[in-house]
Amino acid sequence: MNKIIQEEEFRYIESGKGQPLIILHGLMGGLSNFKGVIGYFPKLGYQIIIPELPVYNLPLINTSVKSLSEFLYKFVTFRKLKNFILLGNSLGGHIGLLFAKNYPKYVKGLVLTGSSGLYENNMGDGYPKRGNYDYIKKKSEAVFYNSNTATKEIVDEVFETVNDRNKLVRTLALAKSAIRHNMANDLPCMKTPTAIIWGKQDTVTPPNVAEEFNSLLPDSNLYWIDKCGHAPMMEHPNKFNTILKGWLETRKL
């Protein structure tokens, strides 16, 4: 993995030169979830930037999708970034959607994969069993079509998160914020070109969510990846990269 850069309040990974492509990770997703994208797109003339979102560090009252979107605004202002493409998985997609709605002039294109913003099954119902490692392992595996994608490292990270009171409280606050902050009424007004890349077997944000995003967004293209769950860029990195490359070329982004 690339070295994390720390500047002022921001921590981020950066690779390559050229058209900025900013990646937004999900609630349980680390920066390493996008290894395939980081390894591929800098060779094609893209500058990949992945900010670490302060999902566990905001004051509890400000732990929301809106606050994380405003954090992104502070970050891109700090880095003097404009005309970038936003790629978000899960909660990251939701943050990207809200940012594109509020600051459309900054965003050339939007890529959603397993995004919240319309509907999601969250893990909140299972948190009372958080001390049970096997239970958390099953929950983590259910995010993917191929349960082997949930490596011990991923399961350990989720287990540690749900057993840390500070992280658990903020995880639940963000999950509730994502559900409350439904964007169905906003999407028809958003003109940003959008690629929707979805796992056909996603159980967290099921396929009908992708179809609804596609029908509500005025300028969107929907792509499916079969035998794939909630994180296509992890389960099928090559297919994901091929689809994204094709869309970026078609849209001249």
Which of 20-34, 127-141, 145-159 ranks highest by mean pLDDT? 145-159
Decide if 149 is inside a domain. no
Are residues 90 and 52 in contact, defined by beta-carbon separation less than 8 angstroms? no
Decide if 196 is inside a domain. yes
Decide if 103 is inside a domain. yes
Around Cβ 128, how many Cβ atoms within 10 Å? 9
Helix, strand or coil, per DSSP, at residue 216: helix
User: Which phi-psi region, left, alpha or beta, contains residue 252 (left: φ > 0; alpha: ψ -120 to 50)?
Assistant: left
Decide if 177 is inside a domain. no
Cα–Cα distance measured from residue 187 to residue 208, given in angstroms and rounded to the nearest whole number: 16
Domain count, the chain: 1
Each residue's pLDDT tens digit, 183-211: 999 999 999 999 999 999 999 999 999 99
Cα–Cα distance measured from residue 49 to residue 188, given in angstroms and rounded to the nearest whole number: 28
Residue 126 has pLDDT above 60, yes or no: no
Domain that residue 109 falls in = 5-120+182-250
Decide if 150 is inside a domain. no
Q: Judging by beta carbons within 10 Å of its beta carbon (0-12, 13-18, 19+), is residue 151 exposed, middle or buried?
A: exposed
What pLDDT was estimated at residue 124? 45
Under DSSP, the state recorded for 103 is -
Question: What torsion do the CA atoms of 22, 27, 29, 34 make, to the nearest 10 degrees?
Answer: -20
Are residues 51 and 96 in contact, defined by beta-carbon separation less than 8 angstroms? no
pTM of the model: 0.92
Q: Average pLDDT in the 220-243 region?
A: 96
Q: Average pLDDT in the 161-169 region?
A: 85
Question: What torsion do the CA atoms of 244, 249, 251, 252 make, to the nearest 10 degrees?
Answer: 130
Structure tokens at 65: 């999708």
Q: Judging by beta carbons within 10 Å of its beta carbon (0-12, 13-18, 19+), is residue 250 exposed, middle or buried?
A: exposed
Decide if 245 is inside a domain. yes
- CATH code at position 210: 3.40.50.1820
Decide if 233 is inside a domain. yes
Share of the chain above pLDDT 70, in %: 94
Cα–Cα distance measured from residue 226 to residue 236, given in angstroms and rounded to the nearest whole number: 9
Distance, C-alpha 60 to centroid of its chain: 21
Decide if 48 is inside a domain. yes
Instruction: Please provide the distance, in angstroms rounded to a whole number, between the alpha carbons at the two ends of the chain.
Output: 26
